[in-house]
């Protein structure tokens, strides 16, 4: 599946919201490569990634780490979320300045290599 094929399947009522999030991520982090992983658009820098997915009742931004989204959740406690994702319902306002921080934390995260002796 390609990004265009994915976007063609997003309902028209939500397509603008998905495109808006993805467009901002592209502008904030132009060095990120965009690909399809697990059948959803994913932005990748090195081993770090952020995915954007259209769901049944919301648009999700996945980061795979609670620490990446913690500041957003703290500032916007009413937002639906999972362990490492934010779920923007159609009625939710997206605070793009704060979302940029979430995406930046995820795409620029330092990975620690743990060695066992």
Strands 40-45, 85-89: pairing is unpaired
- The b/e string for 95-108 (b: 16+ C-beta within 10 A; e otherwise) is eeebbebbbebbbe
pLDDT, position 109: 76
Q: What is the mean pLDDT of each successive set of 10 residues along the chain, which is 117 residues long? A: 94 94 97 95 96 95 93 95 94 96 90 44
Domains of the chain: 3-91+98-107 (3.90.1150.200)
């Amino acid at each position: 599946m390609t990004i265009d094929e994915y976007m063609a399947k997003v309902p028209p009522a939500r397509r603008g919201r998905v495109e808006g999030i993805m467009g901002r991520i592209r502008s904030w982090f132009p060095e990120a490569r965009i690909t399809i992983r697990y059948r959803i658009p994913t932005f990748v820098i090195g081993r770090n990634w952020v995915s954007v997915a259209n769901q049944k009742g919301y648009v999700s931004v996945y980061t795979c780490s609670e620490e990446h989204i913690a500041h957003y959740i703290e500032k916007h406690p009413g937002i639906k979320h999972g362990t490492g994702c934010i779920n923007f319902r159609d009625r939710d306002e997206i605070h793009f300045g704060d979302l940029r921080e979430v995406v930046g934390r995820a795409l620029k995260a330092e990975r620690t290599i743990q060695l066992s002796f």
